[in-house]
A = this chain, B = another copy of it.
Amino acid sequence: MSSTTSAAERFAVCVVKAWTGAIASLDKQFASFTDDELQQEIAPGKNRVFYLLGHMTAVHDRMLPLLRLGERLHPELDQPFLTDADRTSPDQIAVDALRTAWVDVSTALNSAVVSLPAEEWLLRHDAVSEADFAKEPHRHRLSVLLSRTSHVGFHSGQLALVVKKK
């Protein structure tokens, strides 16, 4: 590491690594389920793994505009995987298409996240106005990234409990 790397840059590298590491672990978990296994519940009476795959894809897709890093790729996932509970209506999206959406969103988001200069993490996220941000300077992109990193961990812990049926 260059001796001219600033403290802020070192912080940024570490929080970004925590994010990409969490995504890599979650991706590995999702990939470990066959299409049939995706239909299992994470625990009796709880969401299916399939729903969690859609949920994580939708939440992360929304991070692109929320972090002001780009346009969404899959707004159609909000209704079935954020607004509605699991199994509210028959699945509208095929497993393959959902897996592809997950990979595409992860790739686009990670690419933008790793490229952002350190100090730009401290600029406002899109859900706060310039005026409010002047009064509440902690409502920055970084707070979103850390919050979503915890969210990934939360659901990774649940996926780790799934006992695959043979």
Partner-B contacts on A (CB < 8 A):
1, 6-8, 10-15, 17-18, 22, 42-46, 118-119, 121-122, 137-138, 140, 142-143, 146-147, 149-158, 160-161, 163
Contacts and interface: CB of A to CB of B under 8 A. Distances in A.
What number of copies of this chain does the assembly contain?
2
Contacts of A43: 43, 161
A134 to B, nearest CB: 11
A26 to B, nearest CB: 11
B158 A161 contact: yes
Contacts of A137: 1, 10
Nearest to A143: B14
Contacts of A157: 153-158
